[in-house]
Chain A
Amino acid sequence: MPIKVTTETFKKDVLESEVPVIVDFWAQWCRPCLMLAPVLEEVEKDLAGKVIVAKVNVDEEGYLANQYRISSIPTVLLFENGQLKTQVIGLMRKEDLIKRLGL
């Protein structure tokens, strides 16, 4: 299951993670975000052990959304070894998302 990440836990859960982390910036009122949620759960299942999915609620975590200049949601960021590797914007199918993230 995707983990919920906050400003306080971001460093530990994302930047210091030993496996790559997909961070999903979302909000409850954003329909495309809600439709992306099952897609991300499938990605995590398909790539079990190779990647973790984390979710950042932009309403609650304005600081993180600001810091990563999130201007459209859903936005998905891939972090590897503490570094931002790729950014993908918008709702898409599982295969397309995996390809765009370079996984």
Chain B
Amino acid sequence: MYDAIVIGGGPAGTTAAIYLQRFKKSVLLIMKDAGALGKTKHIDNYYGFEETITGPELLKRGHAQARRLGVEIVNDEVLSIDNSPEYTVKTIKSEYKSKVVLLATGKSQATLKVKGFNDFIGKGISYCAICDGFIYRDKKIGLVGNKEFMLEELEILKNFSKDITIFTDGMDLEADVEEKVVREKILELKGENTVSKVVTKSDEYDIDVLFIAIGSPSASDFALRMGAFLDEKNNVIVDKLFMTNVPGLFAAGDTIGGLLQIVKATSDGAQATVSINRYIKNL
């Protein structure tokens, strides 16, 4: 059991892991990829770098620094987080337990961008199988996704219906499924009051609901399932102590919105650890 699990290896998560380590807390940093910073070519406005530094280089140095100070880092993808009451973080490769979790996975991922999508949010489009699956017992379920996250949702949905179609929306399917798979890009969603048809180039498919589990789950996906507040831009809402309304669930960096800058992310990460340290002490 770790004191804290930090999810996300960007500047917010890595800084938080370093501070927690310095507070003598056992901490595990789980990271998947280089995120937004990994795509940044030039950083000229971050304190102390006389020459331009690239995002990937800054990340590499941050991780080396964290490792030197004793932070345990694993490269893995988090699939689900549960708190009952201790935190269980399930990844593709393993499962970890902790007293608190800090979400620092950056901005929410893009969702399905097709004609009709926005009209049906809450009207047959769902982002959460465990929340809404039950409503669609024995109905025609569509599930958009292509990776482990989709499989995770599929496992839940199988409890409710046998009639499930996977839509990869043109992406490569990186998982084995027994269900019917539609690999063409989705062009449009149709329906009267609620969504009832998925339209691709060569066909149309009847559905009663469309679940979205594209790519990897983002902080807002975790927050939604755990009952943490999100704002209208899907940012995770935290209090002044960087804690969500779910006790022990913290968030920092781009995940909580505001200034999307490294300096703000590192500041968030550091401040969050002060509250995490206090929170753990009071457990």
Contacts and interface: CB of A to CB of B under 8 A. Distances in A.
Interface of A: 27, 29-36, 58-59, 65, 69-73, 75, 89-93, 96
B254 to A, nearest CB: 21
Interface in B179-230: 193-194, 209, 224-230
Interface of B: 121-124, 126, 128, 130-132, 134-135, 193-194, 209, 224-231, 237, 245-246
A41 to B, nearest CB: 14
A73 B131 contact: yes
Given A71-B194, A71-B209, A72-B122, A30 B229 contact: no
Given A69-B123, A70-B135, A96-B231, 13 more contacts: A29-B130, A32-B227, A33-B131, A35-B246, A71-B126, A72-B126, A72-B135, A73-B132, A91-B229, A92-B229, A92-B230, A93-B229, A93-B237
A93 B134 CA distance: 25
B123 A71 contact: yes
A78 B213 CA distance: 30
Contacts of A31: 130-131, 225-227
A35 B194 CA distance: 26
A15 to B, nearest CB: 21
A35 B227 contact: yes
Contacts of B132: 71-73
A75 B122 contact: yes
5 contacts: A29-B134, A71-B194, A72-B122, A72-B132, A91-B227
Nearest to B137: A62
Going nearest first, the 5 A-B pairs with the smallest beta carbon separation are: A35-B227, A89-B122, A31-B227, A32-B227, A72-B132
Contact of A59 (B121, B130, B134, B226): B134
A69 B227 contact: no
Contacts of A29: 130, 134
Contacts of A32: 128, 131, 224-225, 227
A28 B193 CA distance: 27
Contacts of B124: 71
B213 to A, nearest CB: 15
Contacts of A91: 224, 227, 229-230
A30 to B, nearest CB: 5
Given A69-B193, A72-B122, A93-B237, A27 B229 contact: no
B135 A73 contact: yes
Nearest to B133: A29
Contact of A35 (B128, B134, B245): B245
A61 B196 CA distance: 24
A86 to B, nearest CB: 13
A101 to B, nearest CB: 15
Given A31-B130, A32-B131, A73-B131, A90 B226 contact: no
Nearest to A75: B122
Contacts of B128: 32
B234 to A, nearest CB: 11
B122 A71 contact: yes
Contacts of A58: 134-135
A50 to B, nearest CB: 24
A92 B234 CA distance: 11
A61 to B, nearest CB: 12
Contacts of A35: 227-228, 245-246
Nearest to A88: B122
Contact of A69 (B194, B229, B246): B194
